[in-house]
Amino acid sequence: MMNRREFCKKTMIVAGGLIIPLSALEVFNPRRLYAEKNDKGKVRWVFLVDVHKCVGCGFCVKACKIENDVTWDANVTRTWVERYVITRDGQTLIDSPKGARDGFTSQKIDQAHAGLKDVKPEDIAKGFFVPKLCNHCDNPPCVQVCPVGATYQTQDGVVLVDRTWCIGCGYCVMGCPYGVRYFHPQLHVAEKCTLCYHRLSQGMKTACVDACPFGARRVGNIRDPEDPVTKIITTEQVNVLKEEFGTKPQVFYLGSSMEVK
Amino acid sequence: MKNHVWRPLFIVLAIVAGILITRTLLVPDDFGIGERGYMYGWHRKSNEAEWKKYPVKYKTATVCIECHKDKYDDIKDSPHGSISCENCHGPNYDHPKDPLGLNIDRSRGLCIRCHAYLPYRDSARAKIPGIDPVKHYPQAECIMCHYPHDPTKSNPKHRNPEVKS
């Protein structure tokens, strides 16, 4: 007959003996733990833009427009490239003619109603190009404001629009602080960057990433610690746009400047 | 209780039932809270598959190489090697079935996307040889002198990176 002391002792030995080999098999990788902290899925798409590498050729915009059947001549685009010219007297001039669909081929900066502005090369302190696209935020305000559930976020973090379900109220177009949404000129529904969901789900990269000859645009999975894009985001100085809005944007910028908003 | 008290209640109940019936008829079966929860997840689940089915038009160079290995070898080590085939030759769609041939953009406008000189010293644009499109042989197409697959093979007489505005 086993007494209580014996029983407790043996139970602890057996339970401890079972636990030790299980925990010994688990090797803790702090970066994997960090990547998987708040998550259930294995994929979370993120985008990385290297401002230093962009030359403003606009091949990304052209490829996006063709790949996603974005109306070519209407003044709408899912992604665009902005030119920033900062003059020596502190002025910041920004333009993006046709969303840089045909690139930047002129030194004249389009200032809308103020006309084309020609800045003398000796007056330019710095000039650079910034590609922009949907930030596929972790807290997407455009999704939150949709009254019918036509726009939503997938488990892998891509914000999409259900074209058959959108009623065209335009709340999301207003709600996006980055101005990436617009109305489809023919379908009259809200439109936005899908992060080429059809390509990503086949293991391809987005059309803009494939079109960029300079590697200025990259797409990656932040949940995979071995992904080169994740390595850059976790180890180098990256920036996001309008962090103060609390949207947790997932497009990261390398080499961005304070003039970029 | 008297009839005039019950009557409006029946009308209200009928309206509520009507709304509920219309709702079940209109809302698709797979509409619901997705993986992203109550705040960001409401959607029609089958729409995800609809977006995944969207046709891919840019098939990337890996598809081009299958038939055009010679052209790939021609460009791969040149300064233009990083440019995707489809940037100039146009998207693949279902080539060679549909379309049979691709519409190649040989225009000046394509070349000056990168090679129009812009005076931004710190941007990557400054590292690319640039010309002033208005002054540099505006009457000619670039490819009349320059070989697009390998610009180093061009006629040196016509290649002058120093031409600036």
Q: What is the pLDDT of residue A154?
A: 95
Total residues found in chain A within this entry: 261
The SS3 call for residue B46 is helix
pLDDT mean over A180-200 = 96
Confidence of residue A34 (pLDDT cuts 50, 70, 90): low
Portion 102-121 of A in contact with B at CB < 8 A: 102-107, 121
| Residues A56-79 as b or e (16 or more Cβ within 10 Å = b) | bbbbbbbbbbbbbebeeeeebbbb
pLDDT mean over A12-25 = 79
Q: Is A151 left (phi over 0), alpha (psi -120 to 50) or beta?
A: beta
Q: Which residues of A touch B48 (CB under 8 A)?
A: 154, 160, 197
> From the CA atom positions of chain A, what is the Rg in Å?
24
- Where is pLDDT greater, at A96 or B3? A96
Rounded CA separation A123/B128 (Å): 21
In a domain, B161, yes or no: yes
Query: What is the enclosing helix (H) or strand (E) of A82?
Result: strand A80-87
Reply yes or no on whether the pLDDT at A129 is more than 70: yes
Q: Are strands A159-161 and A151-153 parallel, antiparallel or unpaired?
A: antiparallel
Q: What is the pLDDT of residue B164?
A: 40
pLDDT digits (tens, 9 = 90+) for A39-76: 567 899 999 999 999 999 999 999 999 999 999 999 99
Q: Are strands A190-191 and A182-183 parallel, antiparallel or unpaired?
A: antiparallel
Rounded CA separation B83/B110 (Å): 12
Q: What is the pLDDT of residue B154?
A: 60
Q: Do A105 and B113 touch (CB under 8 A)?
A: yes
In a domain, B88, yes or no: no
A194 closest CA partner among A251, A248, A136: A136
Rounded CA separation A106/A237 (Å): 32
pLDDT mean over A155-180 = 95
Q: What is the pLDDT of residue B1?
A: 65
- Six-digit token string for A184: 């489809």
Q: Do A55 and B56 touch (CB under 8 A)?
A: no
Neighbouring CB atoms inside 10 A of B81's CB total 13
The ipTM is 0.85
Task: State which residues of chain B have pLDDT below 70.
Answer: 1, 154-165
What distance in Å separates residue B3's CA from the closest CA in chain A? 39
Vertex A129: Cα angle to A124 and A134 (nearest 5)? 145
Residue A166 burial (10 A CB sphere; 0-12, 13-18, 19+):
buried
Q: Are strands A45-50 and A116-118 parallel, antiparallel or unpaired?
A: unpaired
Reply yes or no on whether the pLDDT at A36 is more than 70: no
What distance in Å separates residue B7's CA from the closest CA in chain A? 33
Reply yes or no on whether the pLDDT at A27 is more than 70: no
- Six-digit token string for A46: 């993120």
Contact between B154 and B147 (Cβ < 8 Å): yes
**In the block, which residue shows the tokens 């559930």?**
A149
pLDDT digits (tens, 9 = 90+) for A101-124: 999 999 999 998 999 999 999 999
Reply yes or no on whether the pLDDT at A150 is more than 60: yes
A201 closest CA partner among A252, A168, A155: A155
In a domain, B32, yes or no: yes
Neighbouring CB atoms inside 10 A of A217's CB total 23
Rounded CA separation A105/A178 (Å): 25
Rounded CA separation B4/B104 (Å): 79
Reply yes or no on whether the pLDDT at A20 is more than 80: no
In a domain, B76, yes or no: no
Which CATH code of 3.40.50.300, 3.10.129.10, 3.30.70.20, 3.20.20.80 fits the domain covering A141-191?
Answer: 3.30.70.20
Q: How many domains does the structure of chain B reveal?
A: 2
Listing DSSP states for A34-59 in one string gives HHTTT-SSS--EEEEEEGGG-----H
What distance in Å separates residue A210's CA from the closest CA in chain B? 7
Q: Which residues of B touch A102 (CB under 8 A)?
A: 109, 113
A45 closest CA partner among A140, A135, A179, A177: A135
Interface test with B, best of A152, A158, A205, A254 (most B CBs within 10 A): A152
Q: Do B91 and A66 touch (CB under 8 A)?
A: yes
Neighbouring CB atoms inside 10 A of B152's CB total 12
Q: Do B123 and A129 touch (CB under 8 A)?
A: yes
Query: Among B84, B112, B123, whose Cβ lies nearest the Cβ of A127?
Result: B123
**In the block, which residue shows the tokens 């407790």?**
A8
Query: What is the enclosing helix (H) or strand (E) of A64?
Result: helix A59-67
In a domain, B10, yes or no: yes
Please state, rounded to an integer, the average pLDDT across all residues of chain A: 92
Q: Which structural domain, as residue segments, surrounds residue B32? A: 3-52
Portion 223-242 of A in contact with B at CB < 8 A: none
CA A100 → CA A49, A65, A69, B119, distances in Å? 16, 11, 17, 18
